[in-house]
Amino acid sequence: MVFTERILLTGGTGFFGRALLRTWLAQFYAGATTPLVTVLTRSPSAFTAQYPEFDRQPWLRLHCGNICEPDTLPRDAAFTHILHAAADSTLGPQLTPLQRYDQIVDGTRRLLDLAVACNARRFLLTSSGAVYGSQPHHLDQVPENWHGMPDPLKPSNAYGVAKRAAEHLCTLYAQEYGLQTVIARCFTFIGPDLPLDVHFAIGNFIRDALWRDEITVAGDGTPLRSYLDQQDLAQWLLALLERGQAGEAYNVGSDRSISIADLAHLVRDIVAPSMSVRILGTNNANNGRNLYIPSIQKAKIELELNVAVPLEQAITNTAKAALQFALTARLRHEY
C-alpha cells in the first residue's frame, strides 16, 4: 500500500484515540484512502489483546513508547501530521497537580520537537475548554475569543493552566519553525469507550441505570453541560487536523445544553424508565450557575462541522456498548 499521509497519534489507546482508530478502520474496510497511522502506546500487546480488531492492520503501526520518556519516541520515522491527544482528563485526577502539569506541558514540547525534527507539516493539539476558566454567567456559550483563564494560583487548576501553556508552546513553535499548529479545545463527550466508574456524570448515570437500584445525582443537579458523541468527536478532530486554520483554536463539543438533573432523568427515560432519580445535594443560590458549554459557530462556519449524533442516540449507543462489554467479560470469565 502507498500512503500519502503518515500520522503519529499519541493517546491512541484512550477515549479520543479509539474513536479515531475506529474511523480509520471503517474507512479502510470501505475501500477509502487511509493514512499510515503510528500509535504511541506503553503496551502494544495489551492493546491488541483487548481490541483485536486493530491487530495486524496494514495501515496501523503500534510503537512502544511514552511521551514522558523522550528516548522512547519514534525519532527515526517520518510523519506528515502529528495528532497529540495524550494526557486526557480520564486518569488525570490520579496524578498530583505538578505531575499533571509536567505531563501536559513537557509532553507537548517533546512532540513539537519531534514534529520539527521529522519535518511534519501539521500538528493538532487536543486542548480543553478548561483553558477558559470558569464560564461567566452572562455567556451561555463560551467562544474561542473569550480570554478568561483559570486562576494560576490554585493548584486544582493545573490541568487548565497546563493546557493553556501547551497552546502557547504550539504558537511559539509555529513562529520559530513554520509548523502549522491547530488547537482543538475539547469539552465533554459520550460514547462506547466512556468509563462509567470515574468522575464523568453521564457515565455514572448510565452505570446506575444499568446495574443499580436508582440513579444518583451527587450535587443539586443545576450545573449545565453538553455532550458530543465519540463518532462526531473523531470526525471533528480529523477535520481540524486536515483543514483547521493554522494558528487558530476551535471549540470541539456540542452546543446543546442540559442540566445535570435533566440529564439524569433523560438517561433514566432511555435506559431504565421505571427507575427513580435521587438528587443528593440541595440548591444553593450562592453557588450561581455552573456552566461548561462551548460556542461551536466557528467550526460550523469555517469547517462545516455539525453535531450529527443526537444526545438520545449517543446515550443508547453507550448503554448498549456497556452491556455488550459486560456480557463479553462474563463469558470470558466462565469459559
Model confidence pLDDT, tens digit, residues 110-133: 999 999 999 999 999 999 999 999
| Residue-averaged pLDDT of the chain | 93
Which DSSP string corresponds to 131-151?
GG-SPPTT-SSB-TT------
Cell numbers for 107, please give them.
509532553
Q: Residue 256: is its pLDDT beyond 80?
A: yes
146/167 Cα distance (integer angstroms) = 15
Query: To which residue does cell 477515549 refer?
Result: 15
pLDDT at 326: 82
pLDDT at 286: 41
87 phi/psi in degrees, rounded to 5: 65, 50
Query: To which residue does cell 475569543 refer?
Result: 145
Angle CA(251)–CA(254)–CA(259) in degrees, nearest 5? 120
Tell me which CATH code domain 6-194+228-255+294-307 carries.
3.40.50.720
Q: Residue 63: is its pLDDT beyond 90?
A: yes
Write the pLDDT tens digit of every residue in 11-45. Answer: 999 999 999 999 999 999 999 999 999 999 999 99
Query: Which distant-in-sequence residues (6+ apart) come within 8 Å of 244 by Cβ?
Result: 124, 182, 184, 250, 303
191 phi/psi in degrees, rounded to 5: 170, 175
258/227 Cα distance (integer angstroms) = 9
Task: Please state the domain extents for the chain.
Answer: 6-194+228-255+294-307
pLDDT band at 94 (very low <50, low <70, confident <90, very high): confident
- Using DSSP's 3-state secondary structure scheme, residue 309 falls into coil
Asked if 112 and 123 count as a contact pair (C-beta separation under 8 A), the reply is yes
Q: What is the percentage of the chain residues whose pLDDT exceeds 70?
A: 93
Burial of 317: CB neighbours in 10 Å, binned 0-12, 13-18, 19+: middle
Query: To which residue does cell 505531575 refer?
Result: 99
Average pLDDT over every residue of 136-144:
95
Write the pLDDT tens digit of every residue in 203-239. Answer: 999 999 999 999 999 999 999 999 999 999 999 999 9
Q: Which amino acid is at 332?
A: R
Write the pLDDT tens digit of every residue in 317-328. Answer: 999 999 998 877
Which residue, among 269, 250, 292, 118, has the nearest Cα to 206 in the 3D structure?
Answer: 269
- Using DSSP's 3-state secondary structure scheme, residue 52 falls into helix
Least confident interval from 137-146, 152-161, 256-265, 321-330: 321-330
pLDDT at 89: 56
